[in-house]
Amino acid sequence: MSEHLTALKTGLRERFGDAVRDCVLAYDEISLTLLPADLLTVAKALRDEADFRFEQLIDLAGVDYLAYGVDEWSTEEATGQGFSRGVEQASYARFSFEDAPATAKSAGPRFAVAYQLLSVSRNQRLRLKVFCENNDWPMVDSVIGVWASANWFEREAFDLFGIVFDGHPDLRRILTDYGFMGHPFRKDFPLVGNVEMRYDPEQGRVIYQPVTIEPRVLVPKVIRDDHRYIEQVAEEKPPGA
């Protein structure tokens, strides 16, 4: 399998040349990164050309690289970082792209779109990735004209991440309510949300109002490898184990 993937990686670089921003083979998977301007051209070639034949789009997902690589929780020792993000009123788990932690590994564009492709005829898979050039208005071309299955996937990424797919014929929310404010999967979206809705018996209808829920953060279990647990495990082991 590795020889086959190596050959596919070489073929992708040779065929698409300067359109390839990056091509990585890791964990028996190939990730091909493109510039947004080359997305549709490369996508059609990947679908139609005999060396690739990626007939199916299995999945499409938005990715938010804000604070990428920053650990929220530590399970080996006590930490206040993640807890404070959830309960301090100044933040309520809100980040801005300009104020992202200095330890974040991503210094490039904030949003990306990942496409999981499958070639049934050639029994091979490929991950295609495109970064949005504008962090304030993330946008890439819609690939519905290449893979029809992208329809609801693109609507989902728009709903949850706010990524706009140019050329989509019906780009509207698919999971949240039509009157929902914001995009839940953005890392700067507050844990408690922006608005809440309830039924008002006096008005006889559902109304929207500013959120009144107090933040509640679940602190994970801290794993400590000390003598207390080591001795307990030793006592629980059956003889000869």
Let me know if residue 227 belongs to a domain. Answer: no
Phi-psi region of 6 (alpha: psi -120 to 50; beta: other; left: phi over 0): alpha
Let me know if residue 216 belongs to a domain. Answer: no
Q: For residue 233, which amino acid is it?
A: V
pLDDT band per the 50, 70, 90 thresholds, residue 87: very low
Q: In this structure, what DSSP letter does residue 111 have?
A: E
Identify which has the larger pLDDT, 213 or 167.
167
Let me know if residue 131 belongs to a domain. Answer: yes
Let me know if residue 237 belongs to a domain. Answer: no
How many structural domains compose the chain?
A: 1
Q: What pLDDT, in 10s, does the model give residues 158-178?
A: 999 999 999 999 999 999 887
Q: Using CB atoms within 10 A of its CB, is residue 117 exposed (0-12), middle (13-18) or buried (19+)?
A: buried
Let me know if residue 18 belongs to a domain. Answer: yes
Identify which has the larger pLDDT, 165 or 180.
165
What pTM, to 2 d.p., does this model score? 0.75
Distance separating alpha carbons of residues 176 and 194, to the nearest angstrom: 13
pLDDT band per the 50, 70, 90 thresholds, residue 103: low
Let me know if residue 58 belongs to a domain. Answer: yes
pLDDT band per the 50, 70, 90 thresholds, residue 111: very high
Determine the structural domain holding residue 57 and report its residue range.
2-186+193-210
Quote the pLDDT of residue 160.
Answer: 96
The yes-or-no verdict on residue 190 having pLDDT over 50 is yes
Q: What is the CATH number of the domain that holds 178?
A: 3.30.460.80
Average pLDDT over the chain, rounded to an integer: 82
Q: How far is CA 129 from CA 39, 61, 72, 91, 198, in A?
A: 9, 10, 25, 31, 40
Residue 143, both tokens: 């690939």
